[in-house]
Structure 1
């Protein structure tokens, strides 16, 4: 084992020891990341969330200028509750060339590799900056990145490229759909079922709302972008949950509809949101016209933009040149990559480990994958030493 790989294993063991489940604080882990990066000579900022219990980290090695690359990963992990782990999920163990623990591949393995490489980067004559962006709450709607990216834009930080180290078995991913989740709550007015006109039936208006969503779902098929490589190639809407009512002889006083949209392009997301917002406003006016106590409210559970494949993508071309990979793929799962794309930089997803291991009991990343990741990061460091 090389000293660099051994250092990565040591760092990963430390990171797995922080139980950064999304429902809990990540501050201790962020403080540890900040200390390691500061020791390497990076300029480090810890950006607290509004609640104060979470934080993002943004750090830079190299010159203070435009360009360069962002290496990004999320600090939070999914729960281990009701999973049948063979060992303590927050104590890393090695077996048969694999490192086990919650977050090993999703995505503390990549973060550990970045931290292990930081002193190597610092020792080089960097002509372009290498940024580190480590976020909170990716698993529950990319909340940290949704705060961080606008902050970077407001400060005029303009990297040329971003590498999101989600587990892809080091395959290059250049696109994925967005994911937007909503809950529409219909407040009706209860009454006896024999006189439906004397109340406001929440379930009835929920059905009208869902009917419009189904119409929009069909309309999206006609909007499929030319050459789309997604499966299916168009944006989709899924009705995930409908609930409401009390009994067959009672006017339903309340109903809920939970639904999601997975847009291929931002224009489809805007199309659906504009249409369903207008329809909701019309239904809400009808309900309130019958009784001012009635109405509709919509809660945004999460809105994460997709990573749109681009014909010209310097990040894809760089990673391909360094890894020898031919071509790039699309994936069905979401990441923070699309948010970084809104900064105007070229973005790819590529990291150690398999998504098949993520979120499962006995999650692991192999030493071989970490070694491949370290080689890629080393190549990135070399490129950042070349003139822009």
Structure 2
């Protein structure tokens, strides 16, 4: 069993589901990283969740940051045939919740930090281990704020989300929103004398679908994505208490996933204008639509010609680059620190969030090889 697999077995045994404490995992990570000679900083988030920043090497030179989140999604309601919080090795696969997304990379990064002990690094290796990524990239934000005040800016951030070690230079941003619709209740036998909040909501859904059609037909396109344009998605719509009561209230959750080249702020303002026009057309004093913005994670658009991209391609042996459909903490690192960011890690997101999640032993071994190449480059100097 490789050292990365040994560490991964420990991490999987800690059920760090989002919004639950990850202190025990970070305590163990801090113990191993301190033994490797790392300088450690704990950055609290909230309610027993926190981040860990570890640096090995000189503090006055730009670091390469290996970024990974420690939280995982729940397993309830999924038909697991393997114990989700116990690492199972079978036929070249390592099963367990978080093996692919993304404790596999975290384990490999910690093992690399141990191998860095005793080596003279001209540029430091840093690990940024975060919390609550799976619920909107929330926990890492105070860590990034801390790094903004650091005397030395990072030279490169590698976000180790699963790409099967392909080098990803971009992903869409994501903004979650809530719309609250209000009307006027009444008896369903006299429905035209009331004002149905669900009808107002369906008019708004129609407006969102029109916007989506415009993005698909005339919007900016990027063929590196499976869906090459900005998308709008309605996830939930709730309203009404009984069939014979005209509902006076409804709530909808929706999201915008925007290409980095699109103006996500402008898109949301246009959607607000659509809502105002729907209310005006309704002509009823009790009609209203209130839209509130929830969490925003910016997109990532690192230029393929950036020297950092070529640097990581040489580490992995990759010939080209890709872009990924899912959001990562990479957009926040790029926006907050102005550092080049790539997404590159072992495993496949096709296994993420599923029962019997796994990473292959070969993928984890290839990640070890990539990080060994990184240590060599850090010894030589960037």
Fold-level match, TM-score > 0.5? yes
Give me the CA root mean square deviation: 2.7
Identify the residue that residue 181 of structure 2 maps to in structure 1: 186
Whole-Å Cα distance in 2 between the matches of residues 288 and 119 of structure 1?
68
Q: Measure how far apart 1:270 and its partner are.
A: 1.4
User: Aligned ranges for residues 13-92 of structure 1 at < 5 Å?
Assistant: 13-49=9-45, 51-65=46-60, 67-92=62-87
User: Aligned ranges for residues 45-194 of structure 1 at < 5 Å?
Assistant: 45-49=41-45, 51-65=46-60, 67-155=62-150, 158-193=153-188
* CA distances 1:49-87 after superposition (whole Å, capped 9, x unpaired): 1x3221111111122235221101110111122323333
- Structure 1-normalised TM-score? 0.88
Q: Measure how far apart 1:8 and its partner are.
A: 1.6
Q: Measure how far apart 1:281 and its partner are.
A: 5.5
Structure 2, unpaired ranges of 5+: none
Q: 1:225 to 1:287 in 2, by over 3 A?
A: closer
Whole-Å Cα distance in 2 between the matches of residues 96 and 380 of structure 1?
29
Q: Is the 8 A contact 2:222 2:229 kept in 1?
A: no
Q: 1:367 to 1:153 in 2, by over 3 A?
A: same
Q: 1:48 to 1:354 in 2, by over 3 A?
A: same
* CA distances 1:331-357 after superposition (whole Å, capped 9, x unpaired): 222222212221211111111122222
User: Aligned ranges for residues 212-361 of structure 1 at < 5 Å?
Assistant: 212-221=207-216, 224-225=219-220, 228-246=223-241, 250-265=245-260, 267-280=262-275, 290-291=285-286, 295-342=288-335, 343-361=337-355
- Structure 2-normalised TM-score? 0.89
Q: 1:197 to 1:226 in 2, by over 3 A?
A: closer
Whole-Å Cα distance in 2 between the matches of residues 204 and 88 of structure 1?
46
Q: 1:53 to 1:200 in 2, by over 3 A?
A: farther
SS of the equivalent of 1:140 reads coil
SS of the equivalent of 1:139 reads coil
Q: Measure how far apart 1:28 and its partner are.
A: 0.8
Whole-Å Cα distance in 1 between the matches of residues 244 and 11 of structure 2?
56
Whole-Å Cα distance in 1 between the matches of residues 57 and 134 of structure 2?
30
User: Aligned ranges for residues 185-204 of structure 1 at < 5 Å?
Assistant: 185-193=180-188, 199-204=194-199
Q: Measure how far apart 1:21 and its partner are.
A: 1.1
Whole-Å Cα distance in 2 between the matches of residues 206 and 188 of structure 1?
10
Matched, 1:377 2:367: no
Structure 1, unpaired ranges of 5+: none
Q: Measure how far apart 1:190 and its partner are.
A: 1.2
SS of the equivalent of 1:243 reads strand
Q: Is the 8 A contact 1:220 1:268 kept in 2?
A: no
Identify the residue that residue 367 of structure 1 maps to in structure 2: 361
Q: 1:246 to 1:122 in 2, by over 3 A?
A: same
SS of the equivalent of 2:246 reads coil
Whole-Å Cα distance in 2 between the matches of residues 31 and 298 of structure 1?
41
Q: Measure how far apart 1:209 and its partner are.
A: 2.7
